Structure 1
């Protein structure tokens, strides 16, 4: 996961779509947040906002 996060560190958003709810805790540990509509998770790069 750190390789992917490093590769896309300059992107504004890094989104994932989960196939099973049981995987949510893993992604939270990786820094992702549950999106407001509950359909996925993302990391927002506050340093790269336009």
Structure 2
């Protein structure tokens, strides 16, 4: 039986995790879009707060 994410992740042992998500229409969550030159670094704080 699968375990819930809450039981798999320990914030005490590891406070940061690498999250991967699929974006559509060349959307960037964080970083800089090399194609358009736009920066989306302001979103990094949003993710860390969550």
TM-score, structure 1 length as denominator? 0.27
Higher relative contact order (CA closer than 8 Å, sequence separation 6+): 1
Structure with the higher fraction of residues in helix conformation: 1
TM-score, structure 2 length as denominator? 0.27
Structure with higher Rg: it is 2
Structure with the higher fraction of residues in strand conformation: 1
